[in-house]
Amino acid sequence: MTTIGFIGLGNMGLPMATRLRSANHTMVVQDVRAGQASAFACANAVAAQTAKQVGDLADIVLMSLPTPASVLEVVEGAQGLMHGSRVKLVVDLSTTGPTTAVQAAASLAKQGIGFMDSPVSGGVTGAEKGTLAVMVSGREDEIARAKPYLEVIGRVFQVGDSPGQGQAMKVLNNMLSANAMAATAEVMALGVKNGLDPSVMLDVLNASSGRNTATTDKFPRSVLDRSFNFGFRAVLLNKDVRLCKEFAEANGVSFTIGRAVAEVWEKAAAELGDGDFTRIIEVIEKLAGVTVQARTAQNK
């Protein structure tokens, strides 16, 4: 029987791992917060103390980690996966950029361990519902081996066969998402400053050519009611935008709009830190002197 390892039980990792556990897969999990892994443990899931221990107990290991540095530590560190005695395939669900994927793949290959970069998109809600977009890049035989488990968390798209191509697709996706969120925040603030009802604005935008993921999902769910609980930190989205900027520069591709968006998110991350990325509206509101809020909420 195949044992699945899962490292990183954060906002995205926990619901993905939970879906695998609910599908009755035998699992071993690990998180830097030992209590998080212990709380997850049950009859078919045990908690490990280190990444190496996961690699000693699991055949396939999935990772969902916040930064390139954390991925490389889990793979290459003194207690990293590359030192595991059983693991044969590592699947990275994180967003770390192509360079990190290439380095991790090379380090694991030295130990005869396969690697697939398989970043995901769809947010916490998608992770909970199993509707994530999973952007897979790797060898055909390894994709075939991992696909049954990846299909538990979402829809699998094979975007390439070389390390880094999945990551390339993900940072491009997140660049567009970050662009839409920043631009929508500016548009909404400008409209409210001129007396427009933000709820009506969204209705019009969503029936028109300005429709995007910020107008259809993020603003209705997390901004107009001022809950700011979309489940993704501003510093992490800024990291993703920076990775895309570095990717463009490494390939000599024009990034004029991207650089402007990167400046906006760098400023937002400096102000918001670990706050939800939808709070970027607050950064824009300060400059505009308005509050973008549903009028029904204002009147409560």
Is 239 marked active-site? no
- Looking at residue 19, its pLDDT comes to 97
Nearest Cα to 21, choosing from 3, 36, 33? Answer: 3
Q: Which CATH architecture has domain 3-160?
A: 3-Layer(aba) Sandwich (3.40)
Helix, strand or coil, per DSSP, at residue 111: coil
Max CA pair span of the chain: 64
Class of domain 168-298: mainly alpha
Token digits for 43? 């009859």
pLDDT-flagged residues of the chain (< 50): 300
Q: Exactly one of 88, 170, 239, 245 is catalytic; which is it?
A: 170
Domain ranges of the chain: 3-160, 168-298
User: For residue 111, which phi and psi values (nearest 5 degrees)?
Assistant: -105, 10
Tokens linked to 157? 């798209």
Q: What are phi and psi of 231, to 5 degrees?
A: 100, 20
Q: pLDDT (tens digit, 9 = 90+) per residue, 66-104?
A: 999 999 999 999 999 999 999 999 999 999 999 999 999
The pLDDT of residue 1 is 84
Residue 156, strand partner residues:
134
**Amino acid, single-letter form, for residue 300:** K
Residue 43: per-residue pLDDT: 86
